[in-house]
């Protein structure tokens, strides 16, 4: 496995593979690998003959009072884990390499979809994500890029980025990897104490209650959202939001669900960690 830190070396490596008839799958990450990241790497290896994992803690996607400085960084352990997964290249550029223009760098503006759900509380976050993903697509020129469903809004935004700006990249989404408790794996779980971890498992438990009501036939948006809110309150969790939106455009679902794919998504603070989770609800078209 090779570690690349410069843009030209990364692009040349990928172009050489393509000239030799190989295909490339990219897994963008911020490092501090857990089993969720490894599942993305496994999927990338199934899709393409070459796998590139990027590790870059992107300052553009952190707000001024967020956790950029304390976000976990452990390149050595990550390199070992990536190698064990059969990754071909880890691309880990510095901030100076990615943003030589600093604050004056050009940015991608995603519009409304970046300002709803988490975007209400993190207004610069998704434009920062879209900017770095666009750069990584230009640098690596992958055939596929693999993302996790845990970040459901990010998936919708990356799909829109590819569609609207015509990137020749296929987007692949991997289901959320969870701990035995149901807690979605996240680098930010490291901020939790043992007690807080138990509490944090309540996020998914609440979503599951609504999922069961949905399976039992509930089709009212507000009823499903209320199930989650009540279940969170019973566990002493006050969410930033609980919303049911259509999975592509992230617009509020109709009061009475019609056939389509919906995201039941939430964010909540537990201790020092801002956690997110979601489940997908699909209403089949009736014959």
* Catalytic residue list: 37
d(CA 276, CA 239): 10
Cβ contact 241:120 at 8 Å: yes
Q: Give me the torsion for CA of 94, 30, 7, 17, rounded to 10°.
A: 150
The answer to the question of residue 40 lying near ligand AMP (CB under 6 A) is: yes
Neighbours of 124 (CB within 10 A): 16
Tell me which of 13, 14, 24, 29 binds ligand AMP, using CB under 6 A: 29
266 counts as binding ligand AMP under rule CB under 6 A? no
Q: Which phi and psi (to 5°) does residue 284 adopt?
A: -75, 145
**Of the candidate residues 1, 7, 30, 198, the single one contacting ligand AMP (CB under 6 A):** 30
Nearer CB in complex with ligand AMP: 136/184: 184
**Per CB under 6 A, 51 contacts ligand AMP:** no
Cβ closest to ligand AMP, residue 136 vs residue 253: 136
- 37 or 221: CB nearest ligand AMP: 37
**DSSP bridge pairs for 173:** 147
Residues between 157 and 216 that touch ligand AMP (CB under 6 A): 174, 176-177, 184-187
C-beta of residue 144 within 8 angstroms of C-beta of residue 27? no
Sheet holding 260-270, edge to edge: 239-246, 260-270, 273-283
Nearest approach in angstroms of CB 25 to ligand AMP is: 13
Residues that bind ligand AMP in the complex, under the rule CB under 6 A = 29-30, 36-37, 39-40, 147-148, 150-151, 174, 176-177, 184-187
């Amino acid at each position: 496995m090779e570690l690349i830190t410069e843009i030209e070396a990364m692009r040349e490596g990928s172009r050489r593979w393509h000239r030799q008839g190989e295909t490339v799958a990219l897994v963008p990450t911020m490092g501090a690998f857990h089993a969720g990241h490894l599942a993305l790497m496994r999927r990338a290896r199934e899709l393409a003959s070459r796998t590139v994992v990027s590790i870059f803690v992107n300052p553009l996607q952190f707000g001024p009072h967020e956790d950029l400085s304390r976000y976990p960084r452990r390149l050595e352990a990550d390199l070992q884990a990536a190698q064990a997964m059969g990754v071909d290249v880890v691309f880990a550029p510095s901030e100076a390499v990615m943003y030589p223009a600093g604050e004056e760098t050009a940015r991608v503006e995603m519009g409304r979809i970046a300002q709803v759900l988490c975007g209400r509380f993190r207004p610069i976050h998704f434009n920062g994500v879209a900017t770095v993903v666009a750069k990584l697509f230009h640098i690596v020129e992958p055939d596929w890029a693999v993302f996790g469903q845990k970040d459901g809004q990010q998936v919708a935004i990356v799909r829109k980025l590819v569609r609207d700006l015509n990137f020749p990249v296929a987007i692949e989404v991997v289901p959320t990897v969870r701990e035995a408790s149901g807690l979605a794996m996240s680098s930010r779980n490291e901020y939790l104490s043992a007690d807080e971890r138990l509490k944090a498992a309540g996020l998914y438990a609440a979503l599951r209650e609504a999922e069961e009501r949905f399976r039992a036939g509930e089709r009212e948006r507000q009823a499903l959202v209320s199930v989650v809110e009540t279940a969170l309150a019973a566990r002493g969790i006050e969410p930033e939001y609980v919303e049911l939106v259509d999975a592509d455009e992230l617009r509020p679902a109709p009061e009475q669900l019609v056939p389509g794919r919906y995201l039941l998504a939430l964010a909540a603070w537990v201790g020092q960690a801002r956690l997110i989770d979601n489940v997908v609800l699909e209403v089949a078209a009736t014959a």
